[in-house]
Amino acid sequence: MKRVIVFAATLLVASWAMAQTNTKQTGNTQGQQPPAQGTQSPGAAGAQGQAGAAGSQSQPGAAGAQGQAAATPKRPPQAKSQEEYKAFQAAAAATTPEAQEKAADDFAAKFPDSELRVLLYRQAMNSYQNANNGDKMVEMGRKILAIDPNDPQALIEVAEVLSERTRNTDLDFNEKTAEANKLASHALETIDTDLPFSPNAPPDKVQGAKDWLRATAYAILGNIAMEKNDYAGAEQNLRKAIDTGKAQPDPVNYLRLAVALDKQSKYAEALATANQAVSMTQENTAVGQLSRQEQNRLKQLAGTPGSAPANQPKPAPTSPQSETPHP
């Protein structure tokens, strides 16, 4: 799950630029510390080299655009004293997920009211993500949400891990999918108001970040619906994910949408969608292989020339949960 933190780099770079300006203008007097959101460690890990990825995603609709224009963004977190900021810098210098987690816990114990706690736990969460440790990702995400229950990135990170790792055969399936659904739905409510960025962050980058998060949230809701065999609900949310994320199309969403349509016997639409998934993937990748399996199945059902003979057994629809490895 490398998708969610794509948005971080451009916002953090902009915040750091503002922080440097504030430092020079104010001398870092107490109560005027720079927004620590801009430091390298709290969010840029895993997002380096991806700044452009969040830059040009499309608006989901005119109504959403009006609501977004009217929303007042949350300011980046700030330190309240030199001591707090220096302690934050020391904690943020940790380089391994385990060390980052300990540094975040130690910092939170020393500064229990600090706004910067979220950034340190986010750093640890992203590092655990890079290490494919889903359990720890969820743990760090929940620590963030205990501090700020409206944090969009943490809401989506935790929801995505839960949705991808939960199967309908699990004893706690209903509990985990209900939690994932609630978190993803709440993220859609807080992206406009609770995603902090600096005033000098480029508007197109900010909008791209928001659209990316929305697309991810809709994809999570679609995946949950798939696992519940609610194929109409899955279709609805996956279409929203695809529409919102047009600037950076995700073949997984197209594959899942093809399966959701297949399950509803909408074979022509399903084949067209599977064709799109195939066009975006390489055959030697997991998503590419599964997309081609679904495409071949749909060709047989549609009687497409060049498909398998009509009397040959038809393959089952591709499993929507098997397309990519997940922590």
Radius of gyration of the chain (CA): 21
User: What pLDDT is attached to residue 72?
Assistant: 67
User: What pLDDT is attached to residue 75?
Assistant: 82
Burial 75-86 (b: 16+ CB within 10 A, else e): ebbbbbeeebbe
Note down pLDDT in tens along the chain; length 327 residues: 444 443 443 344 333 323 333 333 333 333 334 444 333 334 333 332 333 333 333 333 434 444 444 456 688 899 999 999 999 999 999 999 999 999 999 999 999 999 999 999 999 999 999 999 999 999 999 999 999 999 999 999 999 999 999 988 999 999 999 999 999 999 999 999 999 887 788 999 999 999 999 999 999 999 999 999 999 999 999 999 999 999 889 999 999 999 999 999 999 999 999 999 999 999 999 999 999 999 999 999 876 554 444 444 444 555 555 444 343
Instruction: Report helix, strand or coil for 35.
Output: strand
User: What pLDDT is attached to residue 74?
Assistant: 80
Tell me which amino acid residue 148 is. Answer: D
User: What pLDDT is attached to residue 197?
Assistant: 83
User: What pLDDT is attached to residue 198?
Assistant: 77
Please name which of 277, 208, 206 lies closest in space to residue 238, comparing C-alpha atoms. Answer: 277
Residue extents of the structural domains in the chain: 249-327
For 56, 182, 261, 314, the CA distances from 221, given in Å and listed in that order, are: 23, 9, 16, 29
